[in-house]
Structures are given as structure tokens and as C-alpha cells.
Structure 1
Amino acid sequence: MVLPVVTLLLALGFIHGVAWPGILLAGGVVSVVLMTAEMIARSQSRTPAQLVRAAEALSRGEPVSIRPSGDDEAAQLAATLAELSAQLGSRQHLLEKTVESIRDPVVVADEHAMIVIVNAAARRLYRVEPGFDTLTGVRTFQNYYADGTTVMPIAETPMARALRGDDVDDCELIVKPLRAEPAVYLVANARPLRDDAGNLRGAVIVLRDVTAERQAHQALVESEQMAQAIVRTALDAFVQTDQDGIVLDWSPQSEALTGWTRSEAVGQRVVELVFPEELRVAHRQRITRFLQETAAGGMGMRYETASVHRDGHRFYVEVSLNALRRGDGWIINSFVRDVTQRRRAEEQLIQAQKTESLGRLTGGIAHDFNNMLTVITGTIEILADGVRDNPQLTAIAKLISDAADRGAQLTSSLLAFARKQPLQPAETDVNDLIGEVVRLLSQTLGSQTEIRTELGRDAWFAFVDRSQLGAALVNLAINARDAMPDGGTLTFATRNMQLGIPDAVAHGVERAGDHLVIEVTDTGTGISPSHLEKIFDPFFSTKEVGQGTGLGLSMVFGFVKQSGGGIEVKSEQGRGTIFRIYLPKADGTVQGAIEEDDLPVRGGNETILCVEDDPTIRDYVTGQLESLGYKLLVAANADAALEIVSRGTAFDLLFTDIVMPGSMNGRQLAETLMAGRPALRVLFTSGYSDGALPAQQGRGGHGIPLLTKPYRRGELARMLRRCLDLQVDFQGDPVPQPYSVQPDLERFLRENPPEKN
């Protein structure tokens, strides 16, 4: 009876070792087996063959059926085995259902690496069934390490390691089906299975699907990376602080904007880094109010404020705030944009609008005023000739003439400020002009003022009205002298500069490109901040009443802007002032300044078509032209002039006002007539062109002359002869004249008379 007992124990031991150790026969199953063995040992009445077969079937997990026997002990043993078979079957079914219902994949293999248990989740993942060899079976999947690119060898899989006796904890791997299906991210835990003697009987692996977690984590990482990339590449600076203003993050743009590096800024209070001291309390109050509004449902805040760079200079920024709740506190995200140039542009726009409105007013007044002054300045010469034998009346006539000249100068200043004065720009050697201005000023500013020049040798020619620029430089020099009552240094400098679009906007220049920069610097008392923003306003002056009109700088401003340039001023009290004038570069070669004709007044006998809408001016001009010997054709407007021309009446020169009522102005009339007669000579006159005359006049090879109102009889006579005596070809281009050194020689001899022996 020893052999059947041993056989049954081995059979039950096999079940205990292979099937599910510690799971199937834990606890009560062992006691049942021992009791059964004891009963069999005491049984001496029958052969154990039937019991051995039952034990072997029980070891295979098959139901046990034993025929009744007359032997009570054998019958009792048979009943016990049958009951044990039923219990094991029930527990095995419950275990299979339990494992099958687990959502995580579960796989059990025996010591030969054959799968004996695989639940539904594992079957879906690996497409394997019981009996599959985990080491040599043909796979429909591939395992990868956590990087997703390195293949995991079969010998290094958690199951293979557990079958070698290793405990595997939280091993990350990726399963990629060979078919076009998404990869699955898993965390594996595997354990070897041993019997009571410690012999390896298999391994179990439980896998947890973390694909959703990994995807969520990756999305979070990518989102953070994108946010960081946006911050790094944004045009605006990014600053992150806590609710107390301690810097948590500081973008590269913040470093460039403020001068503080990230390592220097993080951990510091932002208010102490970038806010002027007088604005810090207001900033703290603003942040407190912002957080209160955010807590109540507010969506953010945007404001502009002054800021201070690490080097001390101030600039203006626009700040956009939003806040995020973190625990019991707040995180404040700020995007900061430098708006200094925009503010300057807005200020320049306001200045331009103010100038434009005043320009309309002054332009209209100047037009009528210049017409009246033309009559006064012209007729006063006639009166002066008539009373030249009476000293008292001659003095009165001179007083009237001087008053008219001052009125004309005042009108010219008003038009210059309003950018309505008629300009005659040309390619001008500014270095040469400054030399002339310095020679003039050295005799008038006094010995207390030292004049220096720092002129660029390669300075470009500027396209500008030479005489007006000279007047502007003299004006700035006189202001500089007044700012240096105890003497000082006045410096003129020139240099070339290429302006991009942002620079052109910042400097108030009309367009980007090449510009000549003129700097006029003094070492005087400087200008206070309250006065600095008003110095270009008309009639603004810090001088005492009667010592200035307040139009000097406004005239300079208007002239420069009308020339397509820009002007800016930098000054500190006690440290002097710098005026910078930006003028557009000329494209051609320099043209020398036109010298006034010193010859006596000379008339002629040509026929002139005179077009003037103002009857008073028309009568005056008619009398002056007739007194000079010219024949006249007179028209009140362009339509009347065209009617005269249509009749075929011959004439030699068109003398026309620019601003006229009717279907066309003087410029349009001239263009209409020159279309059929290119060689027609034209002389414009105006006291207020109102944009009717282009800044760059001319056709073909020479410019059309302009006689500015008010003018005197001598100026009228000289301009007429200059136009009529100019030799032109059939296309209206000037005919080159032979060069003669005789005028230069005569001038040299006058200035340097030969010594008498």
C-alpha cells in the first residue's frame, strides 16, 4: 500500500507545484490531502489501483468518479476524493473567472515557458493562447524598451527574467503589434513561481496599460515645450512673478529689454528692478487691485507705464497681465512690449495735426497778407523816388519799407512753421554751407562763444533749400548763444546715416533710406523737461516779452519737415542741448548757390502773359511790367489765359500766380501750355503755394524759377531777365554756354588788388 500513497502524494504535489501554487491548494486543500493519505495508509482491504487513477485525474484537473466499494474505508476515501475534486473544480472555475475579469493583462507560464493561463486582456494585447511558447513561439508583436526605438531581446523580457528566477518590478516597455495598430505602453511586474521545496515551477506576469497616462504626460510635456518656445520666440518680453512680485521666470526678451540677466532677476522683486522709484507704490496698488478683480472674475489687465533700464535710461512699456491660481496664492504672467517709439510717433502725430490746423489758418492769412505786402513793398519804391529830395518824407518812406520787410519776414516764418512756404530744394553741399554760416557767426556771436566743426569728410549732399537751411542753422546758433550767457562752445557736426523703417519712425523722418545728419550742440544751461516738449510750438518762448517772437524753432521744425526730414532735441538742465536735423540724401551732383545779380535793374520789350487773380496785385504788376518796357497780355485766371492762347496771340513768357481759383491753378496752366510749347519760359509767383508747386520743380534739364511774394521791382526785373535770357533748345533744355574765367579773374582782382610799385 506504500506505492499508491506515494503516487497520490506525487500527483497532488504536482498540482500544488505547477497549477497555481499558493492559490489552488492553499490552506484547507493540504489538510484534505494529508487526511486522505492517512486513510489510505490504514486501508488494507482492497487494491489501490482505482484510487491511483482517481488521484492522477485529480492532478490533471479532471473530475473524479469512483465506483462504490464494499470497503467502508475505501468508500469513505472515494467520497473524500470526489468531494475534493468538486471543491477543486469550483475553486479553479472561480479563479479562472477572477483572472479573466482582471482589466490588466495577466500571463502564467510553466517552467518550460509554455503559457498555461492568459486572460482576455493579455489575449487582446499579444494574440496568444495557452500552450504558446513564450521564448520560441512565432510572435505577432515586438517588445521595445521605454525609448520606443530599441528592440527588447526576448531573453530580457520580464517573463524570461522571471523564468530565470528574477523578481521584476515596474519594468517599462512598449508593445508594437506587427500590424498597423497603435503601440501600447506597459509597466510590467513579474515573479517566479516555486513549489514548497523551492523548485522553480513557472512564472506569472501582470502588466498595466499606461498608454493614456503616457499620452497625457507627453501632451503636457509638448504643451509646456510649446509654451516655452512661444515665450522664447515672442516679440514681447515675458515675466512671471508670484503675488508678492518675486520673479519666477524671465525670458531672453526681458534680458534684452531691461539689461538684467535671468540669473540676476529670478528671486528679486520686479518692482525694484524695472520701475522708477516714484512709481513703485502705484505699481503695488495696481497689482493688488488686479488680483482682487481677478478673484472676482476679471479677465486680465493692460496698461502703459514708464520703466527704467539697468543702465538708468527710461523707456515706456505696455504691460499685459493675467493671473493663475496656485494653491492659496497667485502666479502672475506679464507680457511686456516696448512702446517708446509708438509714443513718440503718437506725439509727432499730435504735433503734426496741431501744425496742420495752424497751417491752414496761417496759410490763408499769409496769402492775403503777402498780396498786400507786395503792393506796399512795390509802391514804396516809387514813393521813395518821388520824395528823394525831401529828407523828412524819405525817412518816412524808409520806415514804411522797413515795416513791410519785417511783415514779410514774419509771414515767411509763419509759412515755414506751417510748411507752406515755397521751397527751391537742390543738391546742397551742407559742409560748404556750414562753413559759410560759421564765418558769418564768428563775427556776430562774440568772442565768448567758441565755434567748432566736426564735419564728415564723406558727408553726402542733401536735397534741401540751401538758403532756408542756412537760416535755420543761424537760428539754432542764436538760440545756443542765448543759452550760454557766460560763454561756451557751439559745435556743428555732420555725418551719414542709413535709417530703417523703425528708425525713421523714431526720428520723425518722412521715409527710410540715406540721410545726412546735422548736429548743433551747445554747452549752455539746457532745457527743462516741461519746456522740452513745447519748444517747437509757435509763439512759445522762454525769453522776456519783446526779445523774441517765439517762431524761430517752429520755423526750423516746419522747414525741416517740409523738406522731408526730421528734427529732434536732447537736453538736460545744466548739460547743454543737442539739435539733430535729418535731411534726405541728394541723388545727383551738387549745385552751387545762385548768386544775386548785382547789375542795375533792366527791362525789355518782350511780350508777357500775366495771370493774376487778385485785382490789386494785377494792377500793380501791370504797372511795374509796363514801366520796365514789356508788352502785356493780362488774364484773371487760367481759363482766360487759355482763351488768349487759343486765339494764337504770340508771347514770350508766362508769368503766373500759383494759387488761383477756377478749373486749374498756375502750375497746371503752365504744364498745359508747355505740353504744346516745350521751349516756353515760365516764371511762377506765390506767397502761399498750398502744395500746388511740387517740392522738386523742373522739366528736362532746368528748374522753373519762383518769385516769392512779397517782392520788389528790382527782384521782379532780375527774375524776368534771368528767365528770358536763358538760352534753351526746342525741347526747353538749357543750351550750354562756353566757360569763361574772366568773371572769376575780375572778382579775384577786386578782392586782392595788386600792390602799386
Structure 2
Amino acid sequence: MNLSGRLAMGMMLPVVALLLALGFIHGVTWPGILLAGGAIVVVLMTAEMIARSLSGTPAQLVRAAEALSRGEQAPMRAADSDETAELAATLAELSAQLGSRQHLLEKTVESIRDPVVVADEHGMVVIANAAARRLYSVEPGFDTLTGVRTFQNYYPDGTTVMPIADTPMARSLRGDDVDDFELIVRPQAPDPEVCLVANARPLRDDAGNLRGAVAVLHDVTAQRRAHQALVEGEQMAQAIIRTALDAFVQTDQDGIILDWSPQAEALTGWTRSEAVGYRVVELVFPEELRLAHRQRITRFLQETAAGGMGMRYETASVHRDGHRFYVEVSLNALRRGDGWIINSFVRDVTHRRIAEEQLIQAQKTESLGRLTGGIAHDFNNMLTVITGTIEILADGVKDNPQLAAIAKLISDAADRGAQLTSSLLAFARKQPLQPAETDVNDLIGEVVRLLSQTLGSQTEIKTELGRDAWLAFVDRGQLGAALVNLAINARDAMPDGGTLTFATRNIQLGIPEAVAHGVERAGDHLVIEVIDTGVGISPSHLEKIFDPFFSTKEVGQGTGLGLSMVFGFVKQSGGGIEARSEQGCGTNFRIYLPKGDGIAQRAAEEDDLPVKGGSETILCVEDDPTIRDYVTGQLESLGYKVLVAANADAALAIVNRGTAFDLLFTDIVMPGSMNGRQLADTLMTGRPALRVLFTSGYSDGVLPAQQARGGRGIPLLTKPYRRSELARQLRRCLDLQVDFQGDPVPQPYSVQPDLERFLRENPPDKK
């Protein structure tokens, strides 16, 4: 190679090395290319000029050129000739320019934020910028292959140590190109580890000989940590979604399902594989609500785009098996590109809605109870006077047909008034009840025998009674009236005839089922079904059938209190009632009653014997003066001695004076320091065998539902009552034998009434 070639190569090597480093860091750019080209041209022109003028060059010019070839400045002494002087000046200027450019390039590499390391072919560090020195603590002259390190390289898993032979620099020194190689560098404590992406290239001369390698490393620690936090956040979000009580559904803005949690599977019956990719509106919304749902989502996205924070609403939903339930949906939306991702949390609120509806019904019932209860006491007192005295009047005018007919009209009107008041109190759950263990199958048998004579031949009555049906704890008489009421409604719903079915079965209700059926508590219950094949009930009417005074019959054909009376009675008994119906497919009423735990009481039979009085002394406690005078007259007409008290305090004063009496006859609801029940409890504390007969037309809850249980059971005479009913109840209380604890004493011939009943039902001539 001639002199000009040697000069060019010597001057190009440092320039090329620095430009390669810049190229790895920032890529090839037009300013870089121009800078490199200009430097190379200058070097070549200078070398050519030197070669042409050195035919007789002195030794100092040769030494200056060799210094320039090493990238060093070449100081020159004054020359003897003008030509030599000019050449020396040119060399000096060129040396200064090269030094300035080399210094500029070194400063550029030093200022790069990413670590840059250049090594020669032996692995010795030639260039290490400030970032590389901070990270690796290495200086030029460090042996990258054998030097003692103050750091350790790891593979991306952070646990596997990387051998020196696998490092990017070592691989490039073997001639490999390394692109986007990830590694972790752990310096000495306390410096934290660093995640890097390395790019490395081998450096070769024009002949292709390996002259070194350059490695540029980019710190991606922040990005990796952000990505890891994103991954962990996503994992946490998925864990929350899959362990949440609510179902999670994710859709795009068109309603296509993107995600479907296990709770959504349990709620709707559709598996994730079946749901993803389908439109949610077609999967779980009733057809009549789909348009409203689409409109709601459109409005929601418009509000979200305007800065809204979310939406919450309740709606009906449909299960895979077809049954409907109610859900509460909470929505939020996230922008994704030009569209939206909608996240929905869905909660089953069916039981809550049922509870709310029951609360509303209870509040309506309570309001009506306060309205009717306030007047029921006085109204029943007045009816008691009417129904009691009309018997006396009827007896006095029995020989005058015209007056006897008038007396009967009065009596019938009083009975209808009493029935109306009883229905109102039944709905309001304020009527006095006497619940006991009742054989419902036996009661239904009696009801069927009664109905077979009144419903007509067009109505076929069938029974499907469970043989092992439990006893129910319920007021037998009120239950019978409720069943008759339902049967009459069924007959009216079958104008062309049909089938009426009574059925019983046992059921055990858990807490959710008890709430759904509206019963007071979970546990064992007896179910009574009254099923007809009539015209059915429309959905709009089905929601109102238990409301008071609601009726689909024409004016004058019903009061609208029949079903409300049944509803109130059942709820007051601690049970529940529900109706299922479709138009044209009949109606099914289901009554849930709590299971009894004793022996069924024998059905009370009407006493056909004449009215019988007595000579005992009765303490009569009544706050209403009109009723007090009426009852006193009735008791005295029956032969009894009467002690009269206007309230509990007056009654206690009579007792404290030591006045003897045989029976306490007291109203339940009374003003003063205590009511009738409290008075009875006070007197029975010292006299367990005391006979007590309660009377009331409105107990207002002071008489406990359990009062008919056990030996402390006290009979109740419901207002309004007739003279004959008063006389029979008094004799039943006075003739009942009790021990010193107040418990009934078994009679020697207590089986006689059952025997007489059996003989009536199975006369000997049927053999």
C-alpha cells in the first residue's frame, strides 16, 4: 500500500469506530452520513496531498504523517524551504481539525444516556461512556472476557446466571450480530438490579478482519416493572372477578360478550363457552325488554362520553331454563380505540324484591289494620247489642208474622255487618285466632262434603291428599272459611263448569324458600293447593288480587274482601299464600302453613241442647257502658250472679276485698293500667284453677297466638255473639274440671263423644 493509502487508513480508523457507536445508538441518519462522508473525504484528500509532496520528504514529515495515522496531533518545526513549510502548516492544521472532531465524537458518545462499550479484538475495553461506567464500574483497559467483575449478568428470569461466553460483547467478539437481547444486571449492593435490552455488533476492517466489537444497552427497568404491575393488576382483577359474589359480564359497545365469569354461569345457566361471542341482549333478556335495553346502553355510552361515571338499574332477566328473575346491574365503560368496553356487575335481587313487595303489602295491611281496628272494637260492641237483643225481640214477636219478618231482617243485616268486620280484621291480621294442631285432610273432607251440595253438578270436586300429611298449627274454623272462599271464587271462574282440586303435601323450606313464599320462618310446612280449570287471571290482575276491595266482579256481586281475608288470615297464622295463573289455563292457590307438633284437636260440633244457664258468680269486666249493661242483663237472665267492673283496676279492687267469684269474663282491649289478658295473668298467678273467658272483636295483638296451647289455654268468645253462644261458652268453662295447676282433668267417659260421632258416620244399618 502506498503512503497515501496508509495515511488514509490510519486516519479513518478512529473516525469509523466512533461513528459506528453513534449508529448503534441512534440509527443511521442523514446528518450522520454527511458527517462521516465529510471526514473520510478530508482524510483521503489530505493523504493524497501528503503523498504527492513527499518525494523528498524529510524524516520529520514522515514522523508527522505516522502520528496522524494513529489519530495523534503532529507538531512541526520550521521548514527550510517554502514548499516544506507549506506542507508542515497543512499537516498542523489537519492535525488540529482531526483532534477537534475526535474530541466532539468522544463527547457525543459520553453524553449518550444508554451504556455504550467498545472493545478491541482481544476483549479489552477501548471506550466506555459514563452510563456504562456507572452500570458496570469499568474503565477503558478492562478485560471483558477475564476481568474481575463487580456485577453479575442474569437471564431474563432473574435467577439463572449468564456465563461470560453468552454475554452480548463476548458473542460479538466471536463475530455474531446480537439484536434485542434481554438480560438483567445486578451491581454490587446497594444499587438495584437493572433490566437491559442489548444490541451488539462486531467491528471489521476493509479486509474483513475482526478488529473489535461495540455493544449498546438500553435500560428497560421502568417498562418491565410497569408491565409486571399491569400483569399483576390484571391477575388481581381476575381473582376479584372470579371470587366476587356478583356475576361479571364484559361486552363491547354492540353487546357482544367478551368475558363471562363463573358467577354469571351460575346465575344464568349459560356456560362461558356458550356465552362468549353472542349478544347478551339475546341471551338473558326477555324479548319484550330487548329494545329498552339497547336504548339504555346507547344513552349510557352517550353520558359516559360526556363525562358520566356509570349506571345502575334493575331489570327482569331470563334463565336458560326459561324462568324469570330480577337482577341489579352496575355498568362502567372504558374507551378502547374508537369503541367502548362495557363492564357489568350483575346481582340477583329476586329475593330482595320479593321482600320489598312483602314489606309494601305489610305496610298497606298495617295501614288498613289501624284504620279498621280503630272502629272494629266499637262497631263489634254495637253489633253485639243488636245480635243479642234481636233474639229477645224475635221471641217476643214470633206470633206476629209481619214483626217477625222485620226482626229477621234486622238479624240478617247484623250478621252481614259482623261478617264484613270479620273480613276486614282478617285482612288486617287483627282478628282473634285460636290456632291448634289441625288435621287438614280431615277438614278438607268436611269442606268437600259441604261444597258438593252447594257448587252444583257442573263442578267436579277432586282431592289429592297426602297420606302422611302433617298436622298444621292453625285456627280450624278460619281455615275452613278460607277454603270455602277459594272454592267459591273457583266456581265463579268456571261458568261453564270444570274441575276443582284440593291437594295437600309436606314441604321443608330453607331460608331462601321461606322468603320466596312469604312465610314467617323456615322449617316444616304443610302445603294446601286449591286448583281450578277456569278462565285464569290476567298478569295485571294477578298482582292485585289480595288487595282489599279489589274485585273483577260487577258492582253488587262482591265486596272484594274474600281473597284479602284469606291472605290476612294465612299471614297472621305465620304462613304464606301465592297464586299462579295464566289466562285460559286455570288458577292454582298454594297455602303454606306451619307444621303442628301435637295431637289434632277434635272438630267442635254445634251443641243442639237448649240454652242452659247457672247460679255461679261471674266477675264481668267491660269498659263500654252499653255493652256492660247488655251483658249484665244477659248473664242475670241466665241465672248467674254478676260482679261488674269497668276496667282492670276496678276488678282488682273487687278481688282484693275478698269477694268470691267462679269465673272471670273480660274484654281483651281495655283502657287503663292493664288490658284483659294482663288482668287474667295477674289473677291466675295466685289462683291457677281460675276459670277465664275472654271476649273481643279486636284483640290488637294483646292475645298471643300460642294462647290455645297447653293447660293454660283460655277460650275466646268473639264479638258480636248471640245469647246462646254466650250461654254455651260459659257452661264449657264452668263445667270443665281442672286441677290445682289449671290443667284439664281427664273425664272417665271422655271417649263418649268420639264414639257417638263414629256411630253417626257409620250407622249399623249400612252393614
Q: Residue 24 of structure 2 corresponds to which residue in structure 1?
A: none
User: Using the alignment, how far apart are the partners of 1:105 and 1:384 within structure 2?
Assistant: 121
Q: Tell me the amino acid that sits aligned with residue 593 of structure 1.
A: R
Match runs of 1:700-715 below 5 Å? 701-715=711-725
Aligned partner (choices 463, 471, 476) of residue 466 of structure 1: 476
Q: Residue 581 of structure 1 corresponds to which residue in structure 2?
A: 591
Shift of 1:678: 3.5
Match runs of 1:289-304 below 5 Å? 289-304=299-314
Change (3 A) 1:277 1:756: closer
Q: Tell me the amino acid that sits aligned with residue 590 of structure 2.
A: R
Q: Tell me the amino acid that sits aligned with residue 602 of structure 2.
A: A
Q: Residue 181 of structure 2 corresponds to which residue in structure 1?
A: 171
User: Using the alignment, how far apart are the partners of 2:192 and 2:603 within structure 1?
Assistant: 86
Aligned partner (choices 425, 434, 437) of residue 447 of structure 2: 437
Is 1:218 aligned with 2:200? Answer: no
Shift of 1:114: 2.8
Unpaired runs of at least 5, structure 1: none
Q: Residue 451 of structure 1 corresponds to which residue in structure 2?
A: 461
Is 1:480 aligned with 2:490? Answer: yes
Shift of 1:420: 1.1
3-state SS, counterpart of residue 97 of structure 1: helix
Partners of 2:10 and 2:71 within 8 A in 1: no
Change (3 A) 1:712 1:139: farther
For each residue in 1:635-654, what CA deviation from the matched residue of structure 2 results, as whole angstroms up to 9, or x when unmatched?
Answer: 10112112222323333322
Aligned partner (choices 524, 527, 531) of residue 521 of structure 1: 531
Aligned partner (choices 637, 649, 657) of residue 639 of structure 1: 649
Q: Tell me the amino acid that sits aligned with residue 108 of structure 1.
A: V
Match runs of 1:50-65 below 5 Å? none
Partners of 2:471 and 2:595 within 8 A in 1: yes
Q: Residue 591 of structure 1 corresponds to which residue in structure 2?
A: 600
Aligned partner (choices 596, 614, 617) of residue 607 of structure 1: 617
For each residue in 1:728-757, what CA deviation from the matched residue of structure 2 results, as whole angstroms up to 9, or x when unmatched?
Answer: 444434445567645444444454454699
Change (3 A) 1:478 1:275: same
Unpaired runs of at least 5, structure 2: 22-35
Match runs of 1:645-660 below 5 Å? 645-660=655-670
Shift of 1:658: 0.6
User: Using the alignment, how far apart are the partners of 2:662 and 2:352 within structure 1?
Assistant: 54
User: Using the alignment, how far apart are the partners of 2:298 and 2:754 within structure 1?
Assistant: 80
Is 1:206 aligned with 2:216? Answer: yes
Shift of 1:374: 1.8
Q: Tell me the amino acid that sits aligned with residue 444 of structure 2.
A: I
For each residue in 1:537-558, what CA deviation from the matched residue of structure 2 results, as whole angstroms up to 9, or x when unmatched?
Answer: 2233333444433221111011
For each residue in 1:702-750, what CA deviation from the matched residue of structure 2 results, as whole angstroms up to 9, or x when unmatched?
Answer: 3222111122233323323333344444443444556764544444445
Q: Tell me the amino acid that sits aligned with residue 462 of structure 2.
A: R
Judge which range, 704-713 or 568-577, deviates more.
704-713
Q: Residue 152 of structure 1 corresponds to which residue in structure 2?
A: 162
For each residue in 1:607-646, what CA deviation from the matched residue of structure 2 results, as whole angstroms up to 9, or x when unmatched?
Answer: 3221101112112222222333333221101121122223
Partners of 1:5 and 1:40 within 8 A in 2: no
Judge which range, 33-42 or 693-702, deviates more.
33-42
Q: Residue 26 of structure 2 corresponds to which residue in structure 1?
A: none
Q: Residue 382 of structure 2 corresponds to which residue in structure 1?
A: 372
Shift of 1:254: 5.0
3-state SS, counterpart of residue 558 of structure 2: coil
Shift of 1:316: 4.6
User: Using the alignment, how far apart are the partners of 2:766 and 2:445 within structure 1?
Assistant: 33
User: Using the alignment, how far apart are the partners of 2:145 and 2:752 within structure 1?
Assistant: 115
User: Using the alignment, how far apart are the partners of 1:22 and 1:321 within structure 2?
Assistant: 56
Q: Tell me the amino acid that sits aligned with residue 124 of structure 2.
A: M
Change (3 A) 1:495 1:111: farther
Is 1:509 aligned with 2:519? Answer: yes
User: Using the alignment, how far apart are the partners of 2:45 and 2:643 within structure 1?
Assistant: 144
Q: Tell me the amino acid that sits aligned with residue 549 of structure 1.
A: T
Shift of 1:692: 1.6
Aligned partner (choices 663, 684, 687) of residue 694 of structure 2: 684
Change (3 A) 1:699 1:502: closer
Is 1:414 aligned with 2:437? Answer: no
Q: Tell me the amino acid that sits aligned with residue 141 of structure 2.
A: G
Partners of 2:76 and 2:88 within 8 A in 1: yes
Partners of 1:17 and 1:196 within 8 A in 2: no
User: Using the alignment, how far apart are the partners of 1:708 and 1:463 within structure 2?
Assistant: 20
Q: Residue 93 of structure 1 corresponds to which residue in structure 2?
A: 103
Shift of 1:241: 5.0
Partners of 2:436 and 2:708 within 8 A in 1: no
Aligned partner (choices 122, 132, 136) of residue 122 of structure 1: 132
For each residue in 1:651-708, what CA deviation from the matched residue of structure 2 results, as whole angstroms up to 9, or x when unmatched?
Answer: 3322110111122211122223333433433221101111121222268643222111
Match runs of 1:311-350 below 5 Å? 313-326=323-336, 330-350=340-360
TM-score of the superposition, structure 1-length normalised? 0.86
Shift of 1:510: 3.2
Is 1:360 aligned with 2:407? Answer: no
User: Using the alignment, how far apart are the partners of 1:311 and 1:427 within structure 2?
Assistant: 39
Is 1:534 aligned with 2:510? Answer: no
3-state SS, counterpart of residue 529 of structure 2: strand
User: Using the alignment, how far apart are the partners of 1:199 and 1:522 within structure 2?
Assistant: 104
Partners of 2:472 and 2:595 within 8 A in 1: yes
Q: Residue 423 of structure 1 corresponds to which residue in structure 2?
A: 433
TM-score of the superposition, structure 2-length normalised? 0.85
Change (3 A) 1:158 1:486: same
Partners of 2:18 and 2:105 within 8 A in 1: no
Shift of 1:99: 1.3
Judge which range, 402-411 or 338-347, deviates more.
338-347
Aligned length: 750
Shift of 1:575: 0.7
Match runs of 1:550-589 below 5 Å? 550-586=560-596, 588-589=597-598
Change (3 A) 1:277 1:753: closer
CA RMSD of aligned residues (A): 4.1
Change (3 A) 1:227 1:603: same
Change (3 A) 1:483 1:109: same
Change (3 A) 1:699 1:528: closer
Indicate the percent of aligned positions where both proteins have the same amino acid.
85
User: Using the alignment, how far apart are the partners of 2:465 and 2:169 within structure 1?
Assistant: 87
For each residue in 1:272-300, what CA deviation from the matched residue of structure 2 results, as whole angstroms up to 9, or x when unmatched?
Answer: 55555555555555555555555555555
Judge which range, 164-173 or 407-416, deviates more.
407-416
For each residue in 1:567-608, what CA deviation from the matched residue of structure 2 results, as whole angstroms up to 9, or x when unmatched?
Answer: 11111111111112222334x223323524635544444332
For each residue in 1:423-465, what CA deviation from the matched residue of structure 2 results, as whole angstroms up to 9, or x when unmatched?
Answer: 1122333344334433443444344433333444554433221
Q: Tell me the amino acid that sits aligned with residue 128 of structure 2.
A: V
3-state SS, counterpart of residue 595 of structure 1: coil
Q: Residue 703 of structure 2 corresponds to which residue in structure 1?
A: 693
Judge which range, 467-476 or 249-258, deviates more.
249-258
3-state SS, counterpart of residue 696 of structure 1: helix
Match runs of 1:395-406 below 5 Å? 397-406=407-416
User: Using the alignment, how far apart are the partners of 2:617 and 2:517 within structure 1?
Assistant: 50
Q: Residue 490 of structure 1 corresponds to which residue in structure 2?
A: 500
Change (3 A) 1:461 1:128: farther
For each residue in 1:345-390, what CA deviation from the matched residue of structure 2 results, as whole angstroms up to 9, or x when unmatched?
Answer: 4443333333322222222332222212222232333344445566
Partners of 1:317 and 1:340 within 8 A in 2: yes
